[in-house]
Structure 1
């Protein structure tokens, strides 16, 4: 076997996203699915207490606990303790992390299909997303834009990382189509790591892809006490990645009053009516669609 890379596949970062949990368990029973010529991947079920409770998290979202600031401070709750333990085992976080790749498996209640979340500062991960998109043309590339130190995701402790997000599927529920799409995307991602190690990834140079870059999250309508008093407008429901222009219907109150989109530009939407974000009353994310070109490494 060639000089081996350290690759980690993670499920259960959110305890009620059971697709990743059950896929990791399948991989643990069938390690040949994780084996390539240049490496054998490891697996991690990240938040066992939240998994046992079938909850996203118990005290704090584990996938928001991996900023450099939190990892370098005294942990304040169970999820922060877990983050420190995971960083100690697979990190430390940074460009010299001993873990070459981390791929984290997630699901969403939103109608987002297969979405690959990567960071601008990680061109190898962007290459991986493009490779998977070549194999699965309906895949969407979601481009986060923050520094490694600011990145709160578990997968950010690796040198390179990608988050696979597939939906729609309710929390705590298994669906074969979502499970199979997740498994396919993961298999292609592992193939990419192996092919890249052998100089055979076959990507064009220069490369080009459409990507959606996160702008901000918008709150659902709330009353004077902060309680949710409205919902996603039916014209927008289940239409993730559609373009939303100023004046378009975005929310509807519980009394049936349409609330138009009040924004200075047309943007795209994602995580539309994501159930996991109701704890903060967020209704959707705004995205800017860009066509990106870059040179291969």
Structure 2
């Protein structure tokens, strides 16, 4: 067996000379997000130390994802969504984190398990955002008002027995987060075409379903987010980022105050996501207080 011996250590290799016209070049990640060297870290053109202490995390989130700092209104609304969506007591993701932690998973692994449960039925703002875009596309294509297109799509989804993402919440019925998010969006002058479409779809449910089907928190995040200029996948990222705070807290609490192998006894038990397990009788934090 022929081997070439070298005193060079892994990582010491010198880059191959690249001549003009060469089809190949040394491997590198091509990115418009950031770069770094021994002395600097630059994010979308800004030195990280200039950003540090001068912008909020909501500002920074917008910068990293969209490439520019947000307007004050968009920054405030982004921050509001992060606060509004960060914690939701026991939900599929937080319960998953607790079960993973009870099995001995490390914090990062438990949080990853919780993030993995954010799917079609939990924590989505991207799916209602795509639906609202579909209404706008239908209105533009057919040359009809947005409200007419909204009513038509609600009726068609009902006829197909298709779930309307972003509407109804099995636990709240009328999600308490929605009114605050839409109200703040109105106040900041953000509400535009997509908030109007979401409201038109909610109005249309009364005729189609015979009752009002309320816009829920992720649905309001979807329409407000579109009016802020976010793409649907960026809204999913926003939810993952803010909800990860909650998932960390649930894992840390589970690891520090509970025994492992939660619910392993062979006895009848109420399912952990039932509201019977989530009311004030099972909460031992601070009493109600106000800012």
Indicate whether the TM-score tops 0.5.
Answer: no
For the superposition of Structure 1 and Structure 2, which TM-score range results when normalised by the shorter chain? under 0.3
TM-score, structure 2 normalization: 0.24
Q: Which has the higher strand share?
A: 1
TM-score, structure 1 normalization: 0.24
Q: Which has the higher helix share?
A: 2
Q: Larger relative CO (CA 8 A, sep 6+): 1 or 2?
A: 2
